[in-house]
Amino acid sequence: DAKTTQPPSMDCAEGRAANLPCNHSTISGNEYVYWYRQIHSQGPQYIIHGLKNNETNEMASLIITEDRKSSTLILPHATLRDTAVYYCIVRVEEDDKIIFGKGTRLHILP
Amino acid sequence: KAGVTQTPRYLIKTRGQQVTLSCSPISGHRSVSWYQQTPGQGLQFLFEYFSETQRNKGNFPGRFSGRQFSNSRSEMNVSTLELGDSALYLCASSRLSILSGGATNEQFFGPGTRLTVL
């Protein structure tokens, strides 16, 4: 089973900030949180990752709660091109596996 | 630099046949991981090869196998195809193994091979 829980779908108005939540209540102290997205008919694309500090890059921001049991991916100004399935992934060290969940299907509304 | 390439892009097979898919990683990347994506199951990890050795394998039957060559190119083989094997098969490359690369080890995905089993 995936170690993360995400809502199956979300809507966001174009130009607004899209906030995608992820729960990872069993995350270990040395596990990272990674975010990928998959636009229809393309391979998954790396977005951002973090350990415990908030991170920001040219694509998004990642906010990780102090207890590290959940995180939020923020797309500051969503565009129609951000319509995709967003995957939140935690490295599962003890099983030596990378497990993807079903992700969140984000719909950007014009 | 060139991205991850996969061949063929599309493939149609019948039940019981076998298929081999190919993946060429980004130059300098030693890790190649394979994933299966279906509408119902989402993206599922198949296995990873690093320096010609399989590092890990997901929850798939033994019909799914792979190998990696000295130039880091990888092949995935599926034998005795079943209808449920119809999917988009993605490979991803990274500089280090996905199990030990940590924070700076990004994966780069190819466009995928769409396999249809009739």
> 3-state class of B90 per DSSP?
strand
Inter-chain residue contact B56 with A38, CB threshold 8 Å: no
- A36: chain B residues, CB-CB within 8 Å: 107
**Please, which pLDDT band fits residue A38 given cuts at 50, 70 and 90?**
confident
CA distances from A107 to A37, A71, B7, B34, B78 (A): 13, 20, 31, 27, 34
Looking at residue B69, what is its pLDDT? 97
Token look-up 């939140």 returns A88
Residue in A36, A38, A100 closest to B44 by CB: A100
Going A13 to A14 to A17 to A18, the CA torsion angle's sign is positive
pLDDT, average across residues B91-105: 73
Looking at residue B54, what is its pLDDT? 87
Q: What's the DSSP call for residue B65?
A: E
> Minimal CA–CA distance to A84: which of A32, A12, A25, A34?
A12
Looking at residue B97, what is its pLDDT? 78
Going B9 to B45 to B98 to A50, the CA torsion angle's sign is positive
pLDDT, average across residues A14-40: 89
Which of A43-47, B6-10, B35-39 has the weakest average pLDDT? A43-47
Inter-chain residue contact A100 with B110, CB threshold 8 Å: no
Going B117 to B61 to B72 to B69, the CA torsion angle's sign is negative
Which of A60-69, B35-44, B99-108 has the weakest average pLDDT? B99-108
**Please, which pLDDT band fits residue B59 given cuts at 50, 70 and 90?**
confident
CB–CB of A30/A50 below 8 Å?
A: no
Residue in B45, B90, B110 closest to A97 by CB: B45
pLDDT at A48 over 50: yes
User: Closest Cα of chain B to A96: distance in Å?
Assistant: 7
Residue in B45, B90, B103 closest to A98 by CB: B45
Residue B82, CB-side half-sphere exposure with 13 Å CA sphere: 6
Inter-chain residue contact A42 with B111, CB threshold 8 Å: yes
- B32: chain A residues, CB-CB within 8 Å: none
pLDDT, average across residues A51-73: 93
Q: What is the pLDDT of residues A64-105, one digit of tens each?
A: 999 999 999 999 999 999 999 898 988 754 445 566 677 899
Length of chain B: 118
- Higher pLDDT residue, B84 or B56? B84
Structure tokens at B50: 């690093």
Average per-residue pLDDT for chain B: 89
pLDDT, average across residues B29-54: 87
User: Closest Cα of chain B to A15: distance in Å?
Assistant: 28
Q: CA A76, CA B116: separation in Å to the nearest integer?
A: 38
Token look-up 């799914």 returns B64
